[in-house]
Structure formats: C-alpha cells, structure tokens
Structure 1
Amino acid sequence: MIDWNFLRHFPFFEDLEEADLREISSMFITRTYEKGRNVFLEGEGGDELYIIKSGVINIYRIDEAREIILAIFGDGDFFGEMAVLENEQVRSASAKTMEKSILYALKRQDLMSLLNRNPNISMKMLKTTLDRLRKANELITSLTILDARTRVIRMILRLADQHGIQHKGGVLINLKLTHQQIADMTGTVRETVTKILLELQNGKLIHIEKKKIMIYNREQLEKIVLGD
C-alpha cells in the first residue's frame, strides 16, 4: 500500500479528497529493485503503471545490439503507462534501475476503474503522455540532423530541466551519469562524449564531479545550441 499523503502531492491526484486518496492508496503494491535490475523488457506484456517513490529509472530500447536511452525518471515520476492504456498491452521500451529504487505498482484493472470514476485524471495523464511523445520526437529529430556536440549540449540542458537543482554557482544535474550512458542518450560513442565534455569543462561552461554535471553557464550553452 502507498502512503495516501504521497499521492496528495502527485499531480494526477492533487484534486481528490482524502477519502478517495485513501481508497486509491490501497490499490498500489510496493516493489524494491536493486541497481541494474530490469523492471520490464520491450515486447513483454504490461499490465502495471509505476510511480517512483525513490530511485532512478532508465527507459531504453535496443537498436542493433546497442542500448538507446529514451528517458530518465526520478523520484515522483511515473512510467509504464503506454502498455497499460493500450489494448495490446505490450511494452514499447524497457525499464531498468540506475540505482536502488522503490516503486509503487498499480494494476491495469485498478487504473481503469480509477480513470472511469475520475475523468480529470485521464486528461492529466493524457497531457503528460502526449508531452513525452513530443519530447521523444524531438529526440529522434536531434539524433538524425544535429552534430554530436549539439546533441550532447541539448541533452545536458534537457536533464537540467528535468533533474536540475539550484546550487551555488549554477545548476546541478542530480544524476550520476557515465560517459557511456551519455553516449547512449545522444546516439554517439563514448570517446566523442569524453572529448566534448572536456571541451565544455575547459571552457568553464560545466564541471563534472563524481559523475554529476554542474552547469555554470546555461546561457552560453543555449547560444551554442541555437548556433549563435
């Protein structure tokens, strides 16, 4: 069971009354995954939606034996909704933990019952899903038409929007990322990522410590992306 107070701060449920939140909380199952564990795999049947209580989840696909990272989700995010909402209920991508994670799982039948009783939740979920599809399309476009340096910088800016924490001197991306993971997110190779990150650090635009990226000059990074 999920803590109903946690649901109160989740965007889909923020307008519900306490009694409804308590009822919904009883529908969730708590699951714990160690780092590097698959939550589900592309092509598998899917009948659960997941909310992240704590941890980091990597959504990815395999393309010609290479892992392509589509998104990274953290505390309070949800994932797995596509298969649950579709009639075929097949996972369109895989999900794996980047660190030990505690997840709340909601079965499809319970989700459908919930959506039927609360249409506003359906609209909020649809809006979020469409926004994710738009970002996925932007990612595909960037992988096909942009040079590697621009792709890496755009990825850094995107992660700053999703996982950034205001910090003395800049914005800290609160994720531990290897150069290989950044390469998998940008459709390039690790050696190229290492070279680009070194250039950005030498230019005092970013700093990397313990695999976390600190952005010192976002404005300049945005100018590079725009070609100014």
Structure 2
Amino acid sequence: MDRHIVMRAPLFAALDEETAWRLMDSMSPHQLSRGDVVFDEGDPGDSLYVITSGKVKLARTSGDGRESLLSVLGPGEMFGELSLFDPGPRLTTAYVVSDTEFIALGNEALRDFLTDHPEVAMRMLAGLARRLRRSNEGISDLVFTDVPGRVAKALLDLSDRFGKRTETGLLVAHDLTQEELAQLVGASRETVNKALADFAHRGWITLGAKSVTLLDLDRLKRRAR
C-alpha cells in the first residue's frame, strides 16, 4: 500500500503523518477482482472505504433493470462515507472495475475517531461537497451539452485522475467497457462510439482496449465547453 497516495483522501489529509498511519493500520484491508461487489444498493451503510489501488465504480439501477454509472473512483479516493452523516441504506452499488485493494473503517470506529479529530469531519464534508458539485455539473451537462461534448468532458475528467504521460500523449487506462463509458456519459453506446471515432479521425485521441490516449487536450477542452 502506497501510504502517500492514501494520504490524499479527505479522511487523512488533515492529519499529521504519524496519526494518519496509525489510523490506516487500524483499518481492515480488502482485495477484490473486477466484477466483485463491495456493497449493493439498499445494503446497510456501516463502513467507509479508501481505495489504495485499482478502480471502483458507483452505479444505480432503475426499476426496469437499466444501470446508470455515476462515477469512477481510483487510488486516494474514498466512498461510502455518506452513511456516516446520513444513516440509511446505500444509494448506490459499488463494483470493482479492475483488481482493487482498499481499506475499510466501520462507522462506529470512525465516529469515535472524529470526536477526537473534528477537523477531519470538515475535510470529509468538503469532499462530499466536491462530489455533489460534480453531480450537479453532470445533471446540467445532460440538459445543455451534446453527447460529443459530454464525451470530451468525461475523457478529460478521467485523465485528471488516471492519466499518465507517455511519449505519444496522455494515456488514460480507464478500464471501462464501451457500455460502461456510455453509462458514464449518459448516452447510448452507439452515439458515444461515434463521438470517439470522430475524435480519433480528427487526431485528438487514439483508442485502445479499455484505454484512450489524449493527443490534443486544447481541442478536447474547447469541445467540452
């Protein structure tokens, strides 16, 4: 476990290194493979999770069985913390996208910890606020932005968290299937694939297996507006 990556999580960001590492050591480690479920929508919300490696997606399922992908999270990000501030059943299902390791802390132990470290609660609330802001932006994009614009914005967002510089461009190994990427954008797979093919034809990106390399960030940013 790369402790310095985990330190980026709001749970640890307000702590000194010694206290943060002591808290990490008290949390239970887990390792899951792609397709495994961390928790289901409707399960009791009893723990918080911090990703140490890999990726997790949060999704909701409609009454007719259709799935909506809300977000993809990676190392240094946390999920499941909403139940601490608003006890109740889980609002999403958390699936493992790629082989993933994470550490978990039960709500009761977390409440005891926050009593002694109230500044951490403020950091956690700030993290929730940022996620809510992204959700509100996503709702606005569905109304005001066309599918190619949403695809460009999704690629840029994924690149901010998972992108790695290479000789040819910014490699984004998102580990998502075409269907999952379409769910993230809120459009059909065919429409999203058409937008990706157009971007590739223009020389803005190159497509790989569950990955994409961004070649022209400026044009993608203009298309995402």
- Taking structure 2 as the reference length, the TM-score comes to 0.90
Is the Cα–Cα contact under 8 Å of residues 10 and 127 in structure 2 kept in the other structure? no
- 1:177: Cα distance to partner? 2.3
What CA distance in whole angstroms lies between the structure 2 residues aligned with 1:82 and 1:34?
24
- 1:169: Cα distance to partner? 3.2
| 1:171 paired residue number | 170
Task: Give CA-to-partner distance per residue, 1:191-219, whole Å, 9 cap, x none.
Answer: 11111111110100001122211110010
What pairs up with 1:139-218 in 2 under 5 angstroms?
139-218=138-217
TM superposition outliers: structure 1 runs of 4+ over 6 Å: 2-6
Is the Cα–Cα contact under 8 Å of residues 8 and 77 in structure 2 kept in the other structure? no
| 1:69 paired residue number | 69
What CA distance in whole angstroms lies between the structure 1 residues aligned with 2:97 and 2:117?
33
Give the partner amino acid of 1:70. L
The more displaced of 185-194 and 125-134 is 185-194
Give the partner amino acid of 2:54. G
What CA distance in whole angstroms lies between the structure 1 residues aligned with 2:3 and 2:205?
40
Structure 1 16/39 Cα, relative in aligned 2: closer, same or farther at 3 Å?
A: same
- 1:170: Cα distance to partner? 2.2
Higher-RCO chain (CA-CA 8 Å, sequence separation at least 6): 2
- Taking structure 1 as the reference length, the TM-score comes to 0.89
| 2:32 paired residue number | 33
Is the Cα–Cα contact under 8 Å of residues 14 and 120 in structure 2 kept in the other structure? no
- 1:166: Cα distance to partner? 2.3
Task: Give CA-to-partner distance per residue, 1:8-30, whole Å, 9 cap, x none.
Answer: 56554245345534542343111
Structure 1 146/128 Cα, relative in aligned 2: closer, same or farther at 3 Å?
A: same
| 1:49 paired residue number | 48
What CA distance in whole angstroms lies between the structure 1 residues aligned with 2:152 and 2:2?
38
Is the Cα–Cα contact under 8 Å of residues 6 and 51 in structure 2 kept in the other structure? no
Unaligned runs of 5+ in 1: none
- 1:225: Cα distance to partner? 2.5
What CA distance in whole angstroms lies between the structure 2 residues aligned with 1:218 and 1:123?
34
Give the partner amino acid of 2:53. S
What CA distance in whole angstroms lies between the structure 2 residues aligned with 1:10 and 1:145?
32
Structure 1 161/23 Cα, relative in aligned 2: closer, same or farther at 3 Å?
A: closer
Q: Classify the secondary structure of the residue corresponding to 2:184.
A: helix
Q: Classify the secondary structure of the residue corresponding to 2:138.
A: helix
Is the Cα–Cα contact under 8 Å of residues 164 and 170 in structure 2 kept in the other structure? yes
Task: Give CA-to-partner distance per residue, 1:157-180, whole Å, 9 cap, x none.
Answer: 111122222222322213222211
What CA distance in whole angstroms lies between the structure 2 residues aligned with 1:17 and 1:116?
16
Is the Cα–Cα contact under 8 Å of residues 52 and 75 in structure 2 kept in the other structure? yes
Aligned positions, number: 224
Unaligned runs of 5+ in 2: none
What CA distance in whole angstroms lies between the structure 2 residues aligned with 1:3 and 1:160?
20
Give the partner amino acid of 2:158. L
What CA distance in whole angstroms lies between the structure 2 residues aligned with 1:5 and 1:160?
20
Is the Cα–Cα contact under 8 Å of residues 82 and 92 in structure 1 kept in the other structure? no
The more displaced of 21-30 and 164-173 is 21-30
What CA distance in whole angstroms lies between the structure 2 residues aligned with 1:27 and 1:190?
43
